[in-house]
Amino acid sequence: MNIDVRLLQLSQDAPRLIAISSKVSLSGKVFDELKGMSDEEVEVWIRETYRRAHFSPWEHASYTFLIDGLSRVATHQLVRHRVASYTQQSHRYSEGYLRRMALKASEQLSLGCPEKPQKDKKAAYLCYAEALRKVGPQLEVAKIGFVPPPVKSPELWARQVVEATATYYELLARGTRREDARYVIPDSVRTRIVVTMNARELIQVFFPLRMCTRAQWEIRHIAWKLWAELMKVHPQLWKYAGPSCVFRENTEREEPAALEEYLRGQKAFGIRRCPELVENKAIPTCLANAYMTLNL
């Protein structure tokens, strides 16, 4: 799908910060004593947040990601998570990935369309429209500007989005403003977005909902890629993260278990059924299917 997920910024010592914050509410020690806790104590107090379902300490750590190449279908779902900050590429001011499509088509047809519509914008836009309407096959060009859905007739989908993009450029050539011309562009158009979430939103809401097989496939893919990025920097925290079955199980066990232990079958699920009503015996297969989304 060519969706790039990149961790831009983070709370550097988030595991220790969360552990200290967790212990603050239960300990009579002063802060300077708490911040000297050992790595083993940090692990204990992270697990303690699960035992007590006490996730407010996780709010003190935050992470900022760049997600590039996802569709507007996915961003419409993403921004429903309101405990977060977002900055998204504007198709009102930018053609985004669309011009890349037009230039690729122009290159294949040797039309010589200008890289940027500077001096004679009308001629440039008409050239883009012509290139898109004449190029073939269209599927590879369509994938540059749009996220391809898993449909049985991808060529039909490609024909529609390429034609819509050609119409977009024809409208621009006729003097239509970008903010109005974009009304013809399908929601599968690619975009990019910067997202900042605190760790509580990620562990308690976003991952349980969006890593699950019940989530739409594109945002599920993004959620698993976000988790993979977090595992590179703070595995002490994020090894316990997962879809709703994992989160529910970990908050009911005496000690939480790592997601990878569930995936490998080293830990069994004790819950009767997950919050999405999958019965106990079917949960491991459901979880394995969700994990496969990471490699789409």
Instruction: Encode pLDDT of 204-234 as tens digits.
Output: 999 999 999 999 999 999 999 999 999 999 9
Residue 210 annotated among the catalytic residues of the structure: yes
The string of pLDDT tens digits covering residues 91-142 is 888 888 999 999 999 999 999 999 999 889 999 999 999 999 999 999 999 9
The Cα 201–Cα 56 span in angstroms is 10
The residue ranges of every structural domain in the chain are: 4-88+192-295, 98-184
Give me the catalytic one of 99, 210, 220, 248: 210
Kindly write down the DSSP assignment for every residue of 6-30, as one continuous string: EEEEE-TTHHHHHHHHHHHTT--S-
> Do 24 and 31 touch, CB atoms closer than 8 A?
yes
pLDDT of residue 104: 97
Of the pLDDT bands very low, low, confident and very high (cuts 50, 70, 90), residue 173 is very high
Q: What is the pLDDT of residue 175?
A: 96
DSSP helix/strand/coil, 175? coil
Burial class of residue 46 (count of CB atoms within 10 Å of its CB; 0-12, 13-18, 19+): buried
pLDDT, tens digit, for every residue of 245-289? 999 999 999 999 999 999 999 999 999 999 999 999 999 999 999
CB 58 within 8 A of CB 204: yes
CATH of domain 4-88+192-295: 3.30.1360.170
Q: For tokens 């088509």, what's the residue?
A: 105
When pLDDT is cut at 50, 70 and 90, the band that residue 29 belongs to is low
Q: How many CB atoms lie within 10 A of CB 162?
A: 24
Query: pLDDT digit string (tens) for 120-133?
Result: 999 999 999 999 99
- Average pLDDT in the 35-58 region? 92
Supply the pLDDT for residue 6.
Answer: 98
